[in-house]
Chain A
Amino acid sequence: MTATVTTPGARRTRVLSKKALLPWVFLAPGLLLALVFKFLPMGKGVWLSFFKVRPFLGDQWVGLDNYTRVLTDHRFLDAIGHTLLLGIGQSLGAIAVGFLLALLLEGQARTLKIVRTAVFLPVVTATAVVGELWRLLYYPTSDGLINHALGFLGLGPVQYLDNPNTALWATMVMSVWMLAPYNMVIILAGLAGVDRTLYEAAAMDGVSLWQRLRYITLPAIRPALGIVLTLAAIRGLRVFTEVYVLTGGGPAGSTEVWMTRAYTLGFTRNDIGGASAASVVLLCVTLLLTVTVNYFRKRGDVR
């Protein structure tokens, strides 16, 4: 290559390649972190799920053994029921309560804004703090706050967290308490977009309050709501911290969910292979559900 033929064309290709490289320089930190701390562990999890992991002895290939063991283990099977009940129940409950809160607190008045600020507090509070708080609210003797309130109604003290029949529902109530104000904010944003003249027109036509909600408000906020509800339900399937902090899966495994079970298997019983298999199953289910939901959503958008 001679210096004399440094044509504009050659310079352009060099500039182009530098320009082509540039985005990757900006992307590098994010991609590197995602690769090492997200995708590598994911791949490693899938890999380990086919092995019997034995420290110092070397891992032993066991094929699908871990999967069959996990999927036939009765504690995992129980956990599926609890996980589904908790995930679906807390999502539906939080949507309903969030909707009621939004209807109640909609408006521009200063006092309403202050009430909204206060009601939103559970969302910004760390789950661990919420868990400690509710352990005390659920205090099993008649002096505990909720039992004290029940005492006024003449109802005996309930041992919310120590009774296998009530512990899961108690967990669900706490989750609804944490999630409902979040949904309230989303629904409020939807309510703000409702055309006010529709309400006025409805009033002129003598439409009842129920019909107004049913035919004007609900259709207006449904698009946002459907997605939120579905994604929340899917996210609910990997619930861990709430249960771990509040009940630890007890009493007698009555609040054991999929992830707390996998955690116990992996970290307490050191069955890395089994725990990995359980995580992979959960990952596949949530991925599949999310992709399906997004597919139908996109199709809905196009139409």
Chain B
Amino acid sequence: MTAPAIDPIRTPVPTTVDKATQERRTTPARFDTALGWNDRPGVSWALRILLCAIALGIFAAPFLTIVSGAFTTHASGSSLSFLPHDSTLQNFKVAGERGIWDYFTNSLVIAGGALLLQLAVSVLAAYALARHRFRGQALILTLFMLTMMLPEEVIAIPLSLVLGHVPVVGVDLKGTAWGVILPLGAWGFSVMLLTEFMKDIPTEIEEAARLDGVGEFRMLWQVVLPLCKPALGVAGVLGFVMIWDQYLLPLIAAKDPTDYTVTVALSILRTDPEVGSGVVLAGAVIALVPSLIVYLLLQRSLVAGIAAGATKG
């Protein structure tokens, strides 16, 4: 690593936006945007409000129907609306009787375990790839990139065989949370992201610590890792969204339906002839809440990560 000492520790992408804002303040508002929107009341202003309302109606309003339907007594596709007619918790009670909370617990265990494993694996691998030089580095990097090309969809059939009988150790992971957690451990994107970030940490910090006699693992844990917090936020939130979105993997890793995650279990509720749409929607709300919480808390990291992933490919 020959990074110049003046190189500041990189903060994630939003700074570029902030910088642009500061520069922009010197020019009139109508040069702020590609379409030259005017921020003073007028025709362009009114048109923009109208179009924003339409965009909200299309992209956000359907979520209100989920919530309102979940709290409505006799919700069916035919009586959906944006506001509940009569609020009730009946749907959640019925969904609870169908075991929705067990599915939800499965989901939480899997999401928590897989996220921890994914972050730990990525941090370790990124540390080796960014802070050490060794033979075969390029090959290893390519291998991690290849894991992104092998999503569960493409290897589903042989993966389900492997999960049923893991070679060498010979254990059956089907029906356990490990069957979902372990395949999610090595995620190329997260490794790449952290590697890129760690490369930009000045070596001087590390060298100073090394002079003080700090060992490799303490170096990673106490020196490098604290500097990686922004990147960890990005890897964490993207990892969570990716894990929570898993559908096929929990499906093939399950031995029987009680092993399903909450997202997969929604189809059980739907095909249950004794419960109506309201109960399905109650399940949907339960499956939605964790994503919402993570998104609202770590929104900046998520947006920064998507923008970074796109510019770096």
Contacts and interface: CB of A to CB of B under 8 A. Distances in A.
Interface of A: 20, 22-27, 29-31, 33-34, 36-42, 44-45, 48, 101, 103-109, 112, 115, 117-129, 132-137, 139-141, 143-145, 177, 180-182, 185-186, 188-189, 191-194, 196-197, 199-200, 203, 209, 212-213, 216-217, 224, 227-228, 231, 238, 240-241, 244-245, 259, 262-263, 266-267, 272, 275-276, 279, 282-283, 286-287, 290, 294, 297
Given A228-B310, A297-B313, 12 more contacts: A22-B128, A27-B140, A33-B121, A39-B146, A104-B51, A186-B306, A192-B17, A194-B34, A240-B248, A267-B252, A279-B157, A283-B149
6 pairs of A and B residues whose beta carbons are closest in the complex: A139-B77, A143-B78, A189-B307, A26-B128, A128-B263, A23-B128
Contact of B155 (A41, A105, A128): A41
Given A26-B127, A124-B295, A104 B55 contact: yes
B310 A227 contact: yes
Nearest to B30: A203
Contacts of B2: none
24 contacts: A22-B132, A23-B129, A26-B128, A29-B121, A29-B185, A31-B125, A41-B150, A117-B296, A121-B63, A124-B292, A126-B291, A128-B264, A129-B263, A129-B287, A134-B62, A144-B78, A144-B80, A196-B24, A199-B34, A203-B31, A238-B153, A276-B157, A279-B158, A283-B155
Contacts of A238: 151, 153-154
A18 to B, nearest CB: 10
A139 B135 CA distance: 59
B162 A37 contact: yes
A134 B220 CA distance: 46
A122 B39 CA distance: 28
Interface string B18-49: 00110110010011111111010000000010
Contact of B62 (A26, A137, A180): A137
A141 B277 CA distance: 14
Interface of B: 13, 16-17, 20-21, 23-24, 27, 30-37, 39, 48, 51-52, 55-56, 58-60, 62-63, 65-66, 69, 77-80, 120-122, 124-125, 127-129, 132, 134-135, 140, 143-144, 146-147, 149-151, 153-162, 166-167, 182-183, 185-186, 191, 216, 220, 241, 244-245, 247-248, 252, 263-264, 266-267, 270, 277, 280-281, 283-284, 287-288, 291-292, 294-296, 299, 302-303, 306-307, 310-311, 313
Instruction: Identify whether the interface residues of B are mostly helix, strand, loop, or mixed.
Output: helix
Nearest to A99: B34
Contact of A241 (B20, B162, B247): B247
A297 B146 CA distance: 18
B186 A128 contact: no
A185 B307 contact: yes
A115 B162 contact: no
B56 A115 contact: yes
